[in-house]
Amino acid sequence: MKHANRVISAIKPAATAMATLTAALTALTCTPVQAQSVPAMAASQVPPCSWTPNCVSSNGKPGESKYIAPLKPAAGENEPLKRLKGVVSAMPGAKLVVEQPFILKYEFTTPKMKFVDDVQFSLVPATGIIEMRSASRLGISDFGVNRQRMDAVRAAYEKR
């Protein structure tokens, strides 16, 4: 019986601490969020690359091996994503999987091994640029395929 009393005595402070933590988390998560003055989509929606070298992304630091510069549509271009969609959709192995007002996502499947790479483009209205990313789903090395693909996209897109 003494052992049971000691266990109960040890549990009571833990239960009190848990109740306090639960109350604090509830207060934090249930508090209404006030509107922000930052315009929607002011920052890149394209994720940076992970530690693997089989990716290139414009969401990184210039000079890094995985960095690729974003696309810069011509001044006054009304529908840059529409034109980009035409360029990318015509590339071998491309399959459009997500189309939203400011985002295009593709899957590219390699012809022989059937590896899938994920490609994403995001128009950032605040700056007018198109962020981009291409990454292999599997493995570590891609033998430069993702960079070559994005360079080909850039070359075709810039042939105004």
Tell me what pLDDT residue 18 has: 47
Cβ atoms 81, 130 nearer than 8 A: yes
If we measure between CA atoms, which residue out of 65, 49, 71 comes closest to residue 132? Answer: 71
- Please tell me the CATH code under which domain 55-157 is placed: 3.30.310
- What's the confidence (pLDDT) of residue 98? 96
The partner residues of 132 in beta bridges, in order of sequence, read 121
Task: Using the structure block, give the residue that is written with the tokens 């590339």.
Answer: 91
Domain ranges of the chain: 1-34, 55-157
Backbone angles phi, psi at 121, to 5 degrees: -125, 140
Q: Are 119 and 149 in contact (CB under 8 A)?
A: yes
Entry field: residues in the chain: 160
Q: Is residue 27 pLDDT above 70, yes or no?
A: no
Distance between CA atoms of residues 79 and 18, nearest Å: 53
Q: Which of 152, 155, 160, 148 is nearest to 56 (CA)?
A: 148
Average of per-residue pLDDT across 25-42: 38
Q: Identify the H or E element spanning 145.
A: helix 145-157
* Confidence band, pLDDT 50/70/90 cuts, at residue 33: very low
Torsion sign (Cα): 46, 49, 50, 52: positive
The residues pairing with 123 across neighbouring beta strands, listed in sequence order, are 130
pLDDT in tens, 110-120: 888 889 999 99
Given CA atoms 16, 19, 24, 27 in this order, what sign does their dihedral have?
Answer: negative
Alpha carbons 84 and 64: distance in angstroms, whole number: 25
